[in-house]
Amino acid sequence: MIKNIMRLVVASAIAVFAAPIFADGHGCKISARVSIVGNEFPAIHAVADGAKVCKGSEVKANLTADHQKINVAGMSGNPAEYTSAIIANSSIVALMNNDVIRPLDDLVAKHGKGLKKNQLITINGKVMAVAFMANAQHLVYRSDILEKAGISAPKTYEEMLAGAKIIKDKGLMDYPLGGAYKAGWNLAQEFTNMYIGHGGEFFKSGSAEVSINNAKGVATLEMLKALSAYMNPDFLTHDSNATSAEWKAGNVAMMNMWGSRMGPLMDPEQSTPTVVKTTTLGDPMTVGGGSTPATTLWWDGWTVAKNISDAEAEATFIAMMNGINPKRLDDKMMPLAVWLIEGFKPGPANVGVAAAARMNAIPYPMLPYQGLLHSALGSEIVDFMQGKEDAATALADVEAAYTAAAKEKGFLN
C-alpha cells in the first residue's frame, strides 16, 4: 500500500521528461472570490502564492499555526468565510465531522486534468480533498558532532539515547537532543509516533473505546521522558518553530523532525554556516525492537467549502489547482516538500520522508475520535513528563479525559 508513494516518486521523475501541457499561471482566470485558511510553513505558502497568481477576482490567504482553531468556525457560516481549507489527514476529520466541505467529483472531472489518482482523497467513494504533499517526521542529525563523538547515525531510539549520553559526557553539547515537545498537540504527536513504534493500538478494535493504558503505553512514556532528559529544560514550551530555531543556532545534535521543516534548516540564508553544512537527514527510527518506524505518514491537501456558491467553489478549485500547477515546481519550490505533483524530483531535503514511506510507516489515523484522544494526550501526559506522577496514572488520566470528551461528542455512551 505504501509502496504507492515510492512508485509515485519514480513516476514523477519520469514525468519530468514527459511534462504534459497545463494551463499556465498567467492564464489562470477566476470569476469569484477565493479565501484560503491553512497551516503556516514554507510549502503551504508556496501553494497559496500560486493561487494568488490568479486574476479576475480577489484571492486571500490566512496562513497560521492556529488554523485548526479557526477553520471549522470560518467554514460553518453560510456563506462561509473561507472557501478552501488546507488540511492534513488529521485535520480533515474535524471538517468532515462538522459537514463543512463539499465532494469534489464534478470539479475534478471538469478542471482536474493532470491530477493523479493517489492525489484524490476519497471517503466513502467521494473525493473530499486533493492532496499535494506528503510529510513525515524522521531523524535529522549534525554529522560533525556525531563524528566528534565517534558515533554513527542512530537507527533506533535506544541508539539515539546512548549517543546523546556520549555527546553530553564528552562535553560537546549540554542538550544534544531536540524535539517538538510543547505541551498540547506537539507532545501528543510524539506520543502517537512512539506508541505506533511500539506496535500499540489506540482503540479496542472497531469501537471508540480507548485502550492505551498498557505496557506499550508505559514503555512509550518512559522513552519520551528518557529523551527529554537530554533536551533543553524548556522543552515543554518548544514547538516545531522553536525547535527549528534551536537547531539553526547550533544547540542540538539529533532530533526527530518534520520533513517539511528540513529546507529551512539547510538554507544558508536562515541558518548558521556550520549547521547548514553538517545537517544530515536520516531514516525514521524504530523503538523497542519493533520494525515499524516510530513515526506517522501525513498528507497535506486542500478542500473546498460546502456553504459557498457553486461559482465560488469553481473559482476556488481553479485557483488551488494553479497553486499546485506542475509548472510552478521551480528550484525554489521543489525542495520545500515531498510533492505529490507531477514533475517532482526528490532532493536531499526529502530523503527522510521517502525513507518513512519505504519503511512502511503507518499513516496518521483518520478516525472521527482520534482528535479527542490527541487533545487528551496533549494535556494529561504533561504531569508525567514533569515527574509529578507515574506513567500508569498519566495514562489512566488520558483515558478518563478522552472518555469524558467522547461521551460529550456522542461517540461513547
Partner 1 sequence: MKHKTFFWFFLPTASAMLLFIALPIFSIVIQSLFTPHDAVIIVTENCDPFGCKQETTIDQEATRDLRKSEPLGKFVGLEIYKDRGHLAINEVKEIWIESNNFTEFKKNIGNLPFYRAMAFTLTFTFTVTPLMLVFGFIIALAVNSLHHNLKGLTIFFSLLPMIVSPLIGSLVLFWMIDSRGIIGEALQYVFEDPDLSLKASTGLTWVMLIVYGVWHAAPFSFVVFYAGLQTLPMDTIESAKIDGASRLQQVWYVVIPHLMPLITFVALMQLMDNFRVFEPIVGFSAEAHAQSLSWFIFNDLGGETRLLSSAATSSVLTIIGVSILLFPVLIRTWRDFNEKSAK
Site for partner 1 in 221-240 (CB under 8 A): 232-237
Residue 408 touching partner 1 (CB under 8 A): yes
Q: How many residues bind partner 1 (CB under 8 A)?
A: 76
Residue 166 touching partner 1 (CB under 8 A): no
Residue 275 touching partner 1 (CB under 8 A): no
58/99 with CB nearer partner 1: 99
26/409 with CB nearer partner 1: 409
CB of 89 to partner 1, least distance (A): 6
**CA 194 – CA 339 distance, rounded (Å):** 26
Residue 108 touching partner 1 (CB under 8 A): no
Residue 372 touching partner 1 (CB under 8 A): yes
CB of 19 to partner 1, least distance (A): 21
Set of cell numbers at residue 14? 519520469
- Quick one: which segment of 42-50, 93-101, 189-197, 218-226 binds partner 1 (CB under 8 A)? 93-101
- Candidates 33, 168, 216, 374; binder of partner 1 (CB under 8 A) is 374
**CA 147 – CA 139 distance, rounded (Å):** 16
Residues numbered 25 to 64 that lie near partner 1 (CB under 8 A) are none
Q: Which residues contact 308 (CB under 8 A, 6 or more apart)?
A: 79, 80, 83, 316
Smallest CA-to-CA distance from 81 within 128, 45, 37, 40 is with 37
Residue 99 touching partner 1 (CB under 8 A): yes
- Quick one: which segment of 20-28, 42-50, 212-220, 404-412 binds partner 1 (CB under 8 A)? 404-412
Residue 297 touching partner 1 (CB under 8 A): yes
42/184 with CB nearer partner 1: 184
151/308 with CB nearer partner 1: 308
Q: Quick check: 96 and 87 in contact, CB under 8 A?
A: no
Set of cell numbers at residue 218? 508505559
Residue 272 touching partner 1 (CB under 8 A): no
Residue 110 touching partner 1 (CB under 8 A): no
**CA 257 – CA 260 distance, rounded (Å):** 9
Residue 273 touching partner 1 (CB under 8 A): no
Residue 89 touching partner 1 (CB under 8 A): yes
CB of 313 to partner 1, least distance (A): 18
CB of 141 to partner 1, least distance (A): 21
CB of 91 to partner 1, least distance (A): 6
